[in-house]
Amino acid sequence: METTRPTRVIVSKQIDPEKIPNKELLLVDRTEQLTYESVTNYTRAAKGSTQICVMCGNLASHSRGGGDQCGDDDQPPGTTIIPRQNKDVCRDCDKVIWNHETSNAYFKWCKGCKNFLQIGNFSQKLDAAKCDKCRERGRTSYLLKKRTTPSKAESTISTRVSANNKNTKKKPVRIEKEVLLEEKKQISDDAAAISLVSLFKTAENIPSKNNSDTKSKVGALSQSFGCSLAKTALDENPPHDDDSTGESVPPRGLLFELANIHATILKLEQEADKVPLLENQVNDLKIQLSAALDREELLKARLAALESTSDSEEKPKKRPRLISFDDAANSSHY
């Protein structure tokens, strides 16, 4: 195997990431696009000759691929490792940032595109091995794969559940995200306010004599926040059996005042929701009124024009005076 080195032309140098101007981090495209041949310091070795890195010029001890078992300790001094799919760029040079002296462009090797790209393409993560587009494409394919195939934890749980329910006809129980979201939605401020209002209504309708029936009623509605609070108020203020009227006055405290306040707030909010609708209706009526007034003015103008035309047509014309023979004789006599 020949050991002659390819031609060396230094056009790109390594640079410290801290010395890169901030504007270069956002610059993706230039008028003059970078090419593989224009930024490499060495030409690629011919087939059958010794392989070297096109950026640093170090000889390749071996090309590392997916099945290579050679470690870094086996690497001779002054040599480097060039991955098989890296187009003669060693694994040290594909991690650093380079500066092209001719165009003053800053670039880096992308393992996904198999080419040098400007650092603006690595804006999301400057030390990443792939550009933003390749990383986004990888995330998308990973999410699609994850949706189609169940995860290891889910498959383990479903396997255990199916083993426990082997002799039953029930299907494995799986907790979905939608169920958790529905549980979170149930615990909201609106639900609490409505429950307080229902508490106030429930507490006023609680019977007094049959304490067991009352508690059973409240227990049947224990899923409601307001009913559970009504049960608490009932336990703290039990009804009196010696009441002659058969009805007990519900306890009036801070809890019921709070329910009244919430009921008033809800009523005001409902009335406030009607205000924009009413304003829109008023604006529509104003527009219709303006159009009607304009139409009325137009009709009045047309009516006046028609009246003037009819008056001119109906005015009688003067007829020429006819002179009789008697009138002519009288005039000649005088």
261-283 per-position pLDDT tens digit: 878 888 888 888 888 888 999 99
Taking only the tens place, the pLDDT of each residue in 153-207 is 566 666 665 666 555 554 444 555 555 666 655 555 455 556 665 655 655 555 5
According to the model, what pLDDT value does residue 269 have? 84
Residue 46 lies in a domain: yes
Output the pTM of the full model: 0.42
Same domain flag for 94 and 201: no
Cα–Cα distance, 83 to 89 (Å, whole number): 8
Q: Are the C-beta atoms of 88 and 53 separated by less than 8 Å?
A: yes
Same domain flag for 104 and 203: no
Residue 238 lies in a domain: yes
Residue 138 lies in a domain: yes
Compute the Cα dihedral for 111, 113, 118, 120 and give only its sign.
negative
User: Of 120, 143, 166, which residue sits at a domain end?
Assistant: 143
Q: Are the C-beta atoms of 51 and 41 separated by less than 8 Å?
A: no
Counting the structural domains of the chain, the total is: 2
| Residue type at position 276 | P
More confident residue, 77 or 67: 77
Chain Cα centroid distance, residue 130 = 26
Using DSSP, state whether 113 is helix, strand or coil.
Answer: coil
Same domain flag for 108 and 20: yes
Same domain flag for 21 and 129: yes
Contacts of 233 (CB under 8 A, 6+ apart): 199, 203, 250, 251, 253, 255
Residue 239 lies in a domain: yes
- Reported confidence tier of residue 285, pLDDT bands at 50, 70, 90: very high
Same domain flag for 180 and 288: yes
Looking at residues 58-66, what average pLDDT do you find? 69
Using DSSP, state whether 333 is helix, strand or coil.
Answer: helix
Contacts of 101 (CB under 8 A, 6+ apart): 11, 12, 13
Residue 44 lies in a domain: yes
Other residues' Cβ atoms within 10 Å of the Cβ of residue 197: 19
Structure tokens at 164: 């426990």
Q: Are the C-beta atoms of 67 and 80 separated by less than 8 Å?
A: no
Residue 137 lies in a domain: yes
User: Of 143, 165, 183, which residue sits at a domain end?
Assistant: 143
For 290, the enclosing helix (H) or strand (E) is helix 254-314
Cα–Cα distance, 228 to 149 (Å, whole number): 43
Residue 110 domain boundaries = 12-67+75-143
Same domain flag for 129 and 193: no
Same domain flag for 138 and 198: no
Residue 290 lies in a domain: yes
Same domain flag for 103 and 42: yes
Same domain flag for 127 and 184: no
* The residue to which tokens 């090797």 are assigned: 109
According to the model, what pLDDT value does residue 126 have? 85
Same domain flag for 218 and 284: yes
Same domain flag for 241 and 129: no
Cα–Cα distance, 289 to 296 (Å, whole number): 10
Cα–Cα distance, 30 to 10 (Å, whole number): 22
Residue 166 lies in a domain: no
According to the model, what pLDDT value does residue 288 have? 92
Q: How far is CA 34 from CA 28, 120, 164, in A?
A: 11, 13, 62
Q: How many DSSP H helices and E strands does the chain contain?
A: 10, 6
Same domain flag for 16 and 139: yes
